[in-house]
Amino acid sequence: MAYELHYWPMIQGRGEFVRLALEEAGADYIDIARRDDDSGGIAPMLERLSDSTNPRPPFAPPFLRDGDLVIGQTAAILLHLGPRLGLVGASEPDRIWTHQLQLTIADAVDEVHDTHHPLGVDLYYAEQKPEALRRATAFRRTRIPKFLGYFERILTANDGTRLVGADLTYADLSLFQLVDGLLYAFPKAAAAALRDAPHVKRLHQAVAQRPRIAAYLASERRIPFNEDGIFRRYPELDG
């Protein structure tokens, strides 16, 4: 049975980390809200979120349906999919380490979101531009180099091309997405930080060239980055 992914259809957002894993594995999945026919749209997602008959409802999108199981939280979805898609090692130390890296990537993603919404999600960006500038400045100067420097250290201590072991994991795919998003949102700051993180830069390029990922990125299934998502290009925030 096909996996069902439930997520907002107009943005990459947190759902993209799940989409990339499913695409790399060539998994049979349905991006429910993006179906072409009349069954598409976000109504099924909203229904499942408010479904009072489900004793284990997700808190928010994205969530994945795998048979009877409905799993929310991006990192938990990848924890579940990793072994099933062949995107994590077999040993328990490898699995917990891969998950730890995923959670650190998730932290970085949260901080990206806060650069344009430091006062909260109930206000538009236009209502918090001076505050966003202060937060984004600190993020550019100290946090982008810190996160990318950390992953550079991990790659260097491994084989230079993968975060964990010899085979691609979902954490590699997620690091690709983090870098791709930073290059979109903060092209100047990200390019500068990547000069000091050459292995991270090469991983980003190598993942983009994997046959299934390249086909995905060139397809209409890959939603372009835009200013409703997590990674937003507001040039004033890039210094």
If binding means CB under 8 A, how many residues of this protein chain bind a copy of itself? 40
The one segment of 35-43, 91-99, 168-176, 177-185 that binds a copy of itself by CB under 8 A: 91-99
Closest CA to 144 of 101, 187, 103: 187
Q: Does 13 bind a copy of itself (CB under 8 A)?
A: no
Please classify residue 49 by burial: count the beta carbons closer than 10 Å to its beta carbon, then call 0-12 exposed, 13-18 middle and 19+ buried.
Answer: middle
Least separation in angstroms between residue 135's CB and a copy of itself is: 5
Considering only 2, 39, 41, 142, the residue that binds a copy of itself (CB under 8 A) is 142
Closest CA to 234 of 112, 69, 63, 81: 112
Q: Which stretch binds a copy of itself (CB under 8 A): 9-17, 71-79, 195-203, 205-213?
A: 71-79
Q: How far is the CB of 20 from a copy of itself (least distance, A)?
A: 19
3-class SS of residue 35: coil
Least distance from a copy of itself to the Cβ atom of residue 124, Å? 13
Q: Is 97 in the site for a copy of itself (CB under 8 A)?
A: yes
C-beta of residue 4 within 8 angstroms of C-beta of residue 32: yes
What CA dihedral angle connects 16, 17, 23 and 29, to 10 degrees?
-70
**Does residue 118 bind a copy of itself (CB under 8 A)?**
yes
Alpha-carbon distances, residue 218 vs 144, 164, 224 (angstroms) = 27, 27, 10
Q: Which of 158, 184, 210, 238 binds a copy of itself (CB under 8 A)?
A: 158
Report the chain's terminal Cα–Cα distance, integer Å: 48
Taking the least distance from each CB to a copy of itself, the nearer of 114 and 180 is 114
The answer to whether the bond into 44 is cis (omega within 30° of 0) is no
C-alpha 127/C-alpha 202 separation (Å) is 38
Residue 79 contacts a copy of itself per CB under 8 A: yes
Binding site for a copy of itself (CB under 8 A): 55-59, 69, 71-73, 75-76, 79-80, 93, 96-97, 99-100, 103-104, 107, 110, 114, 118-123, 131, 134-135, 138-139, 142, 150, 153-154, 157-158
